[in-house]
Structure 1
Amino acid sequence: MFMSLVPVAIFFAFCIILFVVFKAFNMEALAMGGFVALLIGGIFCKSYTKFWDSAIRGISSISSVSVIVIFFVIGMFSALMKESGLSGGFVWLANSVGIQGGLFVAFVFFATCIVSTATGSSIGTMFTAFPIFYPAGIILGGSPMFLAGAIVSGAIFGDNLAPISDTTIASASTQQFRDGRPADVGGCVKTRFKYSIVAGSIALVLFAILGGIGGTYEGGAIEALSNPVSLVMLIPVVVMLVVATKSRNIFLGILVGLSLGLVTGLACGLFPPSAVFANDPENSAATGFLVTGVAGMLGTVGLVISVFGIMGVLTDAGMLGYLVEKILGSKLARTPRGAEVASVIGISLTTLIFGGVTSASILTFGPVLNEVGKAKGIHPYRRANLLDAVANSLPAIVPFLSVFVFIGSALTGLSPVAVAGGTLYGFTLFAVMVVAVATGWGRDFEGKNGEAVKQPVEETAQSSK
């Protein structure tokens, strides 16, 4: 059973090699590490054939297929937002109002939150936002440390909250109702909103207060980074979020948002029709952001497939059951609060092992939390929110173990310690979730028909008697 951890160990080694040694941040390389881990890990199994049968069962699970399909769909909407240049609109807005220093750093955090929520991609947001917001922030007197931290914080905010985020989808899909249905994304986002907003509001105030420390106002124009027209793309973003949350159907939300976004972007001249979908006869290829949106998800989908393969092996080997049994059998997990405390520790350690790749850590620890939470009657929305929020908080920004910090360091030249220290949202979100676990704030239980109740079903029935 313990030899089933060999693929996990090999995958962890690849995380260290890619992020620390090579400073490579592409999902394709990480997916390769997962598949190599499976190929080598099978050698330590009694039957190589049965090992791969287990891996395929994990890959073909309903949770795996659901995540893969959703990723391909959201890739198109994410590419639409990137093509529209939404970040430039916020730079224009801040410059027009005359925001400088710490206030601009706080504004960058707010704007990046919106961009990452719109695109659903934390890493994509950082590569888009840093070239625009960071130079503008330096000119306007922002602290380099907190300016970089504000961008990373905003990227993590959207990763945690956006209904089209990979971690939102992964956290929802791994938590199931008693009847076996995975938690719906809309319901998770609706109940998650309060945690993200409280943590985000605290971080916003801190960025405004601390954001100008060490910064120097240089003056000068930043019109080259500005594009006021792109702010109109907030309309399809808001509509998409409302439809996805209200209908609790992510596919309907994407359809409405993508359709409205295409019409709005074309009408406002943000991109030509050829940027949407076109033919490249010289290279015998189709082009456009709809194509690149799907193609851009291939690396993430490959990572999901490899991680679910590893999960299939861990499940059939009995390792996941062993972990669940150990957690539930511990003194700490005798109560729902204790079970959540144990889960916070487990999520944090898993995220550290996977180098801050939150989607991988959520997919790995999610099944364990699902069984632990179901045993205590905790509602799947609460479990999914705990899983996603903790993974996207302090464990995701540890220096020298975080892909987010490494990217921020690579794009700014700052040390990983400085970038991590400036990522205030990671600290505030973790603090909010610790308070939520300790006080029971937002802890709902699953009722007989899947509804959220304040007490476990057994306690509710006893009270009725």
Structure 2
Amino acid sequence: MTESSSASPTLRFRGGWGVSFIPLLVFLATCVAYFVVFKAFDMTALAMGAFIGLLAGALFARDYKGFWDAALRGFASPASMTIVAILFVIGMYSQLIKVSQLSDGFVWLADTIGAGGAAFTVFTFIAVCAISMSTGSSIGTMFTAFPIFFAAGLTLGANPAMLAGAIVSGGIFGDNLAPVSDTTIISASTQRFRYKNGTADIGGVVKSRLRYALPAAGASILLFAVFGGSSTASATNILAEHSNPAALWMLIPVALMLAVAITTRDIFKAITAGLVLGTGTALITGLITWTDVLSVTDGAPGGYLVTGIQGIVGTVALVIGVFGIMGILLEAGVLTKVSSTLIRGRLGRTPAGAETSIALGISAFTVLFGGVNSASMITFGPVADEIGARAGLHPYRRSNIMDCFAMGVSCIVPFLSAFLFIGATLVSGYDIPEISAGALFTGTLYPLMLTLVMIASIVFGWGRRFEAADSTPAKTPTVHTVQKDVEPAVVA
């Protein structure tokens, strides 16, 4: 939160402070309308809902100009601009991975090793994890992976519901862990250090998150291996059509990008390395041509550098819109009320209790936002930052608790989840019995396993870290008492 978060509310509404929720409620109504009613997922439409909400809320403000000044401060906040800048550069990188068709290389590999049934379901989960880690986009990966892996898996005798769940799970895994994922960026950028300037660095967050993501992925693999097969197979065969071993060369720039992100903890250096080596690799191997990099056709610019920017604009608009709503809630004193209530409650008095408050809060927001965990983390991130800091929790730990629970069961609630609606829609055209969102829920194992891992982490304190006064992580705090209206606890 900004420094003003602890001051008296500066923004007042006709009808009381509760009216300040109008922008958020309009935004939530937009999420429900598009996901539940129209079954359409579009970031630009969600951004529209955020801005319509702001227009509606301004009508009830006692100071109309003050309302928009608060929204503008939210738009232009350091966290908002950091996320926007990172999203634009990863948009270009993600588009490079898509146009080079890395997924075709994994299909060739599966065909070569003769994977079938349950084995192909396991292979699909691992391959989609790699693709999603490369692109940082769960939804984008799903749209790419379903037409290729699902049809091929039916041919090889995979269980349809488990195969679809493996694809959704793999997309969520990459979103949870990739340093180029918008959710990874948001979860890190909203958690501030208290003993030095800046927010949690993405490389450090990703490195510390491995201890939770990998066990959850391992448990998912075992379950996919047991339940991923089926006694029947479809006649559809697209293995030959989407099989290209040369695409596997793109794993080299992907590995470099990940290594640079983790070792330097600088996402801009990582993306630069990935773009340069990735473009060179794709050109040399013939996966793309120079026109795929930059081109102009009939006066219209093209190429992955341009389309990468175009493709991320909707997400950027969503981020800006939600940060505007946050600016209103902050200056109306709402976020302060929420965080103060959680901090002063029984749960906020211990590190485990603070983690539980963050877990419950982000889960509730993610459900309300229809599984759109980027929006829920933008909204709840400052609250999690305040709650965790009062308990002395390290920014990495706060980021991991928030992100992993947002990527857990809360993002795949059957009657609200955008992930499940999209997954069920993408399998509706195949010659198989309809797979409902509820059936897909049981096959989406990674979020379920991740939730269990994180609950155990809170209960047993596994991976819990504290921020020390010298900015290095401490294993246990010397002092972590929480009192009413005090500064964050000092830890040794």
TM-score by length of 1: 0.97
Aligned residue in 1 for 2:403:
388
- The CA distance in 2 between the partners of 1:424 and 1:242, in whole Å, is 27
1:308 aligns with 2:326: no
Match of 1:129 in 2: 145
Query: Aligned partners of 1:273 and 1:449: how far apart in 2?
Result: 49
**TM-superposed deviation, 1:279:** 1.5
CA distance in 1, matches of 2:183, 2:338: 22
In 2, the alpha carbon distance for the partners of 1:234 and 1:161 equals 17
- Residues of 1 paired with 2:425 and 2:491: CA distance? 57
Q: Name the residue aligned to 1:378.
A: 393
Q: How does 1:216-227 map to 2 (within 5 A)?
A: 216=233, 222-227=239-244
Residue aligning to 2:421? 406
Could you report, residue by residue, the CA deviation over 1:199-234 in whole angstroms, capped at 9, with x for unpaired residues?
A: 000001111111014643759672112111101100
AA in 2 matched with 1:186: G
Judge conservation of contact 2:397–2:464 (CA < 8 Å) in 1: yes
Contact 1:163 1:186 in 2 (8 A): yes
Name 1:206's counterpart in structure 2.
223
2:457 match: secondary structure = helix
Residues 42-61 of structure 1 mapped to structure 2, 5 A cutoff:
42-61=58-77
Partner of 2:10: none
Q: Deviations over 1:122-180 (max 9, x none)?
A: 11000000011000000000011001000000000000000000000000010000144
Q: Percent identity?
A: 50
What is the letter of the counterpart of residue 77 of structure 1? Y
- Deviations 1:354-406, CA, capped at 9 Å, x for gaps: 00001000111100000001101000000001111100110001112111111
Amino acid at match of 2:310: A
Q: For residue 231 of structure 1, what is the aligned residue in structure 2?
A: 248
1:349 aligned residue: 364
Give the direction of change, closer, same or farther, for the CA distance of 1:130–1:219 in structure 2 (3 Å limit): closer
Aligned residues: 462
Alignment partner, residue 453 of structure 1: 474
| Alignment deviations for residues 14-35 of structure 1 (CA, whole Å, 9 cap, x no partner) | 0010111112111111110111
Q: Distance in 1 between matches of 2:202 and 2:24?
A: 28
Distance in structure 2 (CA, Å) of the matches to 1:254 and 1:155: 20
Equivalent in 116, 122, 126 of residue 110 of structure 1: 126
Aligned match of 1:272: 289
What letter is aligned with 1:419? L
Q: Could you tell me which residue of structure 2 aligns to residue 75 of structure 1?
A: 91
How far apart, in 1, do the equivalents of 2:476 and 2:339 lie? 22
Paired amino acid for 2:439: A
Q: 1:231 & 1:459 partners in 2: Cα distance?
A: 49
- Deviation, 1:4, is 1.4
Partner of 1:367: 382
Aligned residues of 1:129 and 1:151 also touching (Cα < 8 A): yes
1:238-294 CA-partner distances (Å, limit 9, x unpaired): 0000001100000000001110000000000001111110111x2x12110110001
Match status 1:319 vs 2:334: yes
**CA offset digits 1:76-104 (Å, max 9, x no partner):** 11000000111111111011101111111
Which residue of the partner structure matches residue 258 of structure 1?
275
Q: Distance in 2 between matches of 1:443 and 1:295?
A: 39
Which residue matches 1:439? 460
User: What TM-score do you get using the length of structure 2 for normalisation?
Assistant: 0.92
Q: CA deviation at 1:332?
A: 2.0
Instruction: Determine whether 1:8 maps to 2:24.
Output: yes
What is the RMSD of the two structures over their aligned residues, measured on CA atoms? 1.7
Which of these residues, 149, 152, 177, is aligned with residue 168 of structure 2? Answer: 152
Structure 2 counterpart of 1:187, from 178, 197, 204: 204
Letter in structure 2 aligned against 1:24 = A
2:476 counterpart SS class: coil
> For residue 428 of structure 1, what is the aligned residue in structure 2?
449
Provide the C-alpha distance between the structure 1 equivalents of 2:88 and 2:149, rounded to a whole number of angstroms.
28
**Structure 1 alignment gaps of length 5 or more:** none
* Alignment partners' CA distance in 1, 2:375 and 2:366: 8
- Relative to structure 1, the CA distance from residue 285 to residue 395 in structure 2 (aligned partners, 3 Å threshold; closer, same or farther) is same
Equivalent-residue separation in structure 2 for 1:111 and 1:292 (angstroms)? 24
Tell me whether 1:140 sits opposite 2:161 in the alignment: no
Task: Tell me by how many angstroms 1:42 deviates.
Answer: 1.4
3-state SS in 2 of match to 1:279? strand
* Distance (Å, rounded) in 2 between the aligned partners of 1:334 and 1:449: 23
Report the CA distance shift for 1:172/1:459 in structure 2 as closer, same or farther (over 3 A). closer
SS at match of 1:286: strand
Q: Which amino acid aligns with 1:326?
A: T
For the 8 Å contact 2:467–2:491, the answer to whether it is kept is no
| Equivalent position SS for 2:162 | helix
Rounded to whole Å, the distance in 1 between the matches of 2:312 and 2:350 is: 40
8 Å Cα contact 1:448/1:457 also seen in 2: no
Q: C-alpha distance in 2, partners of 1:269/1:463?
A: 55
Aligned to 1:419: 440
Letter in 1 for 2:460: T
Q: Which has the higher helix share?
A: 1
Structure 2 residue runs of 5 or longer lacking an equivalent are: 1-16, 429-434, 482-488
